[in-house]
Structure 1
Amino acid sequence: MIAHLNWTATLVFVAFFALVTGLGFIAGRWRAGDLDDLAEWGLGGRRFGAWVSWFLIGGDLYTAYTVIAVPAVVYAVGAYGMFAIPYTILIYPLLYLTFPRLWAVTRAKGYITAADYVDGRYGNRWLALAVALTGILATMPYIALQLVGMEKVISALGFEGGPWASHLPLTIAFIILAIYTYQSGLRAPAMIAFVKDIMIYIFVIAAVIVVPLKLGGYGAVFDAAGAALAKKAALSGKPAGLTLLPAQIMPFITLAIGSAMALFMYPHSMTGILAANSGTAIRKNAYMLPAYSLVLGFIAIMGYMALAAGIEVKNPQDVVPQLFLKMFPSWFAGFAFAGIAIGALVPAAVMSIGAANTFTRNVWKPFVDPGIGSKEEADLAKLMSLIVKVGALIVILVMPTTFALDLQLLGGVWMIQVFPAVVFGLFTRWFSGWALLAGWAIGMVVGTGLAAGPLAWTPVHAVFGLGFSAYNGLIAFVLNVAVAGALSALLPNTAPDATRAADYEDEALA
């Protein structure tokens, strides 16, 4: 089990993991509040300023699996894997224009989740339930894939074993995560995010300086990567290269746009936003967070570096750990692996909290126990956060990773279908709740149907009559809006609206 363990890297890894574990347990006393209240446990009391929000939201969106998967796709197919970079740039104008309004109305009305807001705005608890269940469904495989990222670096340390023994370090790490998240709520990932983000910045900057120097400069890196991708394309018959082929351009554009629209609809993204202390803090983050997009570009280039370094792996997800093991001393590889593993803990914690908040507020309370008290509500959310983590761990233990990946990729197709109910409602009450529910149902069915390939998830589909392919989620979204718009024109909007125009104004606009 430990015969081939890299002890130097492992000791550094364990030391930093122990550090963040300690931070997780003391986080409950940071900006202390009543953790028997759901807004305090699940949203940190809505007291995070611009800097704390920057680390939390960045740590929430740029995950361990991002560090593993984006270079892996670039390593496998080249430029097409770069779609993650423009989409993480496109989301920030959306953040600036819309989410201060959502923050303001949720603060004014005491809403905890996006589904809370949808229920109040449209007076339709079934639409709110659809938004809630979509978020929970899409979040579960997302958490599971954070475990994949952690598992890759643990494996790279040299830890070996049978099917169950190999998962032991991962299981222990997630048990620790579950305990301190239960105890400290959102404050735990917010505090740990400081350490995680600093570590990722350090090892990424080191990689983009040191690795090209060892390989003869960036010109040599791109030349070698281009040759390797051309060889892959010739052998496989599938497109791969340093630049996009003409047929890849529209799929690339639509995938970036659709992914950007979906990202902040996830419960964990929403949780990070709603935990801010003001609309101004959200606006500041809209122009500060692109720094993470710059780092993401550096991370993506690691795929080309691995090609240039001659790294060969059976699974492309192993390329980043193997690149660091080859190019850096063991102690620094251990540092980088710890940063990636901690990069799994922050989003996994926020994802479990977001899903737990959503289940408690929008499934259990309205449909099972409408009279639930404040403490019981918080206790149920804490319990659900444990159940969500256990479910994600079981997914990794018993389900093939490729299937978990397919489900996570489908998550974006699903989450974009709640965009009309959440974002359109921030600016107009013209749409009917029942019409939006019908549009959501059409979008979910069509998006899932388009994505169901014969062997695996298919990200794009040919658009009938237009001569190009587009992202499945965006195709389904267009049909979603068309149905919602047509039915809203036919169905009178008679449901009560619990919000007022003044509720959407934050301190910068009041």
Structure 2
Amino acid sequence: MNAAVATSVFGVFMVVTVALGLLAMRGRRRGSGEGGGLAEWSVGGRSLGTVFIWVLMAGEGYTSFSYLGAAGWGYNYGAPVLYVVAYMSCGYALGYVVGPTLWAYARKHGLVGITDMVAHRFGRPWLGALVAVIATVFLLPYIQLQITGMGVVVSTISYGAISLNWAYFIAFAVTTGFVVVSGLRGSAWVSVLKDILVIATLGFLAIYVPIHYFDGYGPFLDRLVTEKSQWLTFPGHGDSGLGQAWFITTSFLNSLTVVIFPTTVAGYLGAKNADVLRRNAMWLPAYNVLLFVPMLLGMAALFVVPGLVGAESNLALFKLVVDSLPAWAVGVIGVAAALSSIVPMAVFMLVIGTMWGRSVLSLVPRLERRQKGAAQTVVVAAGVIALVLAEEADHRQTGEQPAGRRRQERAAAQQRQIDQRSRGPALHRDEPGGQGHRGEQQQPDGCAQPAVPAERQRGQQRRHRQAERRAARTARGRRDAAGRRTRSGPCRSGQPRPARAAPTAAAAGDRSRLSADGCAGPIVYNGWRAERTPARKAWLREPGRQAAKGKKGGADEW
């Protein structure tokens, strides 16, 4: 029932997302030519105001990492995760100067992307194409990351009803559906819906989780300071190496990168004027306050769901809410997280399409006047490649884990067989003498005692086997009343030993004897002996036929 409700909520919002993205182009003129069409599609006709630029650029920065990675870093390390807030705020400050400069240059020369500006500034079209190829190589993993993040979120909030592969395809289909048609303007409209949901859901969680699990912020912060103080200072929990030097250098380098990132430049070029970018640079740091919520909830998960390791720690936020909130609320939170993947993914795909349509494929004479169509085709191709990369990564990860488990199980089974052959039938762990938990051995009195050391255990096994061999030799040396050798117990095959029959006169005259264990086995004929093995038959002599003299193994075989 919960899965059906959450999945229905998610499906309704995805339909609304596609419809909103498609309606963004309603009533917009296409432009006089192909160049005008590309400018309208790639940079929104340079007509976006302060609100649209603010939600668009905030959407680029607030990705699925905010719901998954920020909470996971808060869970694993603590204070070092604040580098995200530091570098983004510093980058916005630099954008106050860089953004208007790039916007003015691009508007003056009719440019629509960072590769377009590189080619125009240096007068080398091939240089713009080279930058486009290199940027594409490094942007495709970002798209793959957003597809993977949305897949994990959707599979979690649907209570496993939607598989990862289907979630990956939904992310690709929804994003491609409105980006190809509406371009940057469609991404801006979807960003409005995304930011409304993000602000509402994170504001609710910031109040709900501390009250529900800790009876308020006071007890929560008191426990955090008392029990998890290592998470509140650098370098955080564990030997992560994320100290103050790392924090300063990482924040500085990332702030320089984010200000000229291809997707950030696309947001600059979509503004109506330079003042919009300056106001945007002043207001964007306020959006970063929301980043503190998943970081704090990640540390709250330390007390609620302890023991998360590896990739599971990225789901710390959702593990707090999936079991404690109604299904419809879980669905809404999942939609907010999914849109946090869709919006940046849409801008990434749009930028790749614009770079190739304007700087690479335009070098082909037949495609020079079809730049918009070529760019839209590249958008679809980039989405398909990222989708394949995400599915391949998932298959490798899910394939390696069962393979590793199978190897461990085979090794354990082989070890059990060796132990069973050397010690006899293994005892159940609950039986006296059986192997208990954590290397402890159950003694006859029922008390758990430390296991015998391996070297001493091997010595005991060796002496046990020697005693068995001595007993077997003693048993083979016994004779019955008729002077025949006898052995007690079953045959080697495990079957009951057959009754002894009196030897015939012919057999007595030939001095032949049955095998020592009374089963079909080695028989002595006229001084030679045939070995009895599972792969060979016994060498028998038919009455009335003479065995070959002086020839080992030369008798007739039946």
TM-score, structure 2 as length reference: 0.65
In the alignment, the residues of structure 2 paired with residue 270 and residue 103 of structure 1 have an alpha-carbon distance, to the nearest angstrom, of 8
Contact map agreement 1:159 1:166 (CA 8 A) in 2: no
- Match runs of 1:316-327 below 5 Å: 316-327=313-324
Unaligned segments of structure 1, at least 5 residues: 404-510
Identity of aligned residues (%): 27
Structure 1 residue aligned with 2:236: 240
Contact map agreement 2:168 2:390 (CA 8 A) in 1: no
In the alignment, the residues of structure 1 paired with residue 226 and residue 386 of structure 2 have an alpha-carbon distance, to the nearest angstrom, of 39
How many equivalent pairs are there? 390
Structure 2 residue aligned with 1:388: 382
Counterpart residue type for residue 329 of structure 1: P
Structure 2 residue aligned with 1:57: 57
In the alignment, the residues of structure 1 paired with residue 294 and residue 319 of structure 2 have an alpha-carbon distance, to the nearest angstrom, of 14
SS at match of 2:336: helix
- The Cα shift of 1:339 comes to 0.8
Structure 2 residue aligned with 1:87: 87
2:245 to 233, 242, 250: 250
SS at match of 1:265: coil
- The Cα shift of 1:265 comes to 2.6
Larger-gyration structure (1/2):
2
Is 1:180 the counterpart of 2:178 in the alignment?
Answer: yes
- Match runs of 1:430-445 below 5 Å: none
1:285 to 280, 286, 290: 280
Q: Hey, which of these two has a bigger chunk of helix by percent?
A: 1
Contact map agreement 1:59 1:347 (CA 8 A) in 2: yes
Is 1:218 the counterpart of 2:217 in the alignment?
Answer: yes
1:308 to 293, 300, 303: 303
Superimposed CA distance per residue, residues 314-353 of structure 1 (whole angstroms, 9 cap, x where no aligned partner): 4212112212214433221111101111121111111100
Structure 2 residue aligned with 1:133: 133
Is 1:25 the counterpart of 2:22 in the alignment?
Answer: yes
Q: 1:385 to 1:257 in 2, by over 3 A?
A: same
Superimposed CA distance per residue, residues 67-110 of structure 1 (whole angstroms, 9 cap, x where no aligned partner): 21111111111111221011111011111011101000101101
In the alignment, the residues of structure 2 paired with residue 54 and residue 154 of structure 1 have an alpha-carbon distance, to the nearest angstrom, of 27
Contact map agreement 1:5 1:157 (CA 8 A) in 2: no
Structure 2 residue aligned with 1:97: 97
Unaligned segments of structure 2, at least 5 residues: 398-558
Structure 2 residue aligned with 1:461: none
SS at match of 1:28: coil
Counterpart residue type for residue 399 of structure 1: A
Structure 2 residue aligned with 1:365: 362
Contact map agreement 1:226 1:241 (CA 8 A) in 2: no
SS at match of 2:252: helix
In the alignment, the residues of structure 1 paired with residue 290 and residue 304 of structure 2 have an alpha-carbon distance, to the nearest angstrom, of 21
Superimposed CA distance per residue, residues 473-507 of structure 1 (whole angstroms, 9 cap, x where no aligned partner): xxxxxxxxxxxxxxxxxxxxxxxxxxxxxxxxxxx
Structure 1 residue aligned with 2:109: 109
- The Cα shift of 1:310 comes to 2.9
Structure 1 residue aligned with 2:528: none
SS at match of 2:68: helix
SS at match of 2:9: helix
Structure 1 residue aligned with 2:293: 298
Q: Higher relative contact order at CA 8 Å, sep ≥6: structure 1 or structure 2?
A: 1
Is 1:343 the counterpart of 2:340 in the alignment?
Answer: yes
Counterpart residue type for residue 259 of structure 1: N
Q: 1:159 to 1:324 in 2, by over 3 A?
A: closer
Contact map agreement 2:76 2:237 (CA 8 A) in 1: no
Counterpart residue type for residue 297 of structure 2: M
SS at match of 1:328: coil
Superimposed CA distance per residue, residues 177-214 of structure 1 (whole angstroms, 9 cap, x where no aligned partner): 21221122222111111000010000111111111122
In the alignment, the residues of structure 2 paired with residue 5 and residue 167 of structure 1 have an alpha-carbon distance, to the nearest angstrom, of 21
- The Cα shift of 1:32 comes to 4.3
Superimposed CA distance per residue, residues 349-401 of structure 1 (whole angstroms, 9 cap, x where no aligned partner): 111000111122222224xx156444x11000000000111111111100259
Counterpart residue type for residue 110 of structure 1: G
Per mean C-alpha deviation after superposition, the further-off stretch among 218-227 and 63-72 is 218-227
Q: 1:289 to 1:30 in 2, by over 3 A?
A: farther
In the alignment, the residues of structure 2 paired with residue 18 and residue 143 of structure 1 have an alpha-carbon distance, to the nearest angstrom, of 21
Per mean C-alpha deviation after superposition, the further-off stretch among 145-154 and 380-389 is 145-154
Q: 1:31 to 1:68 in 2, by over 3 A?
A: farther
- Match runs of 1:400-439 below 5 Å: 400=394
Contact map agreement 1:222 1:304 (CA 8 A) in 2: no
Q: What's the Cα RMSD here?
A: 2.9
In the alignment, the residues of structure 2 paired with residue 103 and residue 75 of structure 1 have an alpha-carbon distance, to the nearest angstrom, of 40
Q: 1:356 to 1:199 in 2, by over 3 A?
A: same
Is 1:193 the counterpart of 2:215 in the alignment?
Answer: no
Contact map agreement 2:144 2:390 (CA 8 A) in 1: yes
- The Cα shift of 1:230 comes to 7.0
Superimposed CA distance per residue, residues 379-429 of structure 1 (whole angstroms, 9 cap, x where no aligned partner): 0000000011111111110025999xxxxxxxxxxxxxxxxxxxxxxxxxx
Is 1:378 the counterpart of 2:367 in the alignment?
Answer: no
Structure 1 residue aligned with 2:205: 207
Structure 2 residue aligned with 1:273: 268
Contact map agreement 2:352 2:382 (CA 8 A) in 1: yes
Superimposed CA distance per residue, residues 282-337 of structure 1 (whole angstroms, 9 cap, x where no aligned partner): 11100111121111122322211222323554421211221221443322111110
In the alignment, the residues of structure 2 paired with residue 31 and residue 70 of structure 1 have an alpha-carbon distance, to the nearest angstrom, of 38
Q: 1:138 to 1:229 in 2, by over 3 A?
A: farther
Contact map agreement 2:64 2:150 (CA 8 A) in 1: yes
Structure 1 residue aligned with 2:393: 399
- Match runs of 1:66-81 below 5 Å: 66-81=66-81
Q: 1:167 to 1:179 in 2, by over 3 A?
A: same
SS at match of 1:305: helix
Q: 1:310 to 1:161 in 2, by over 3 A?
A: closer
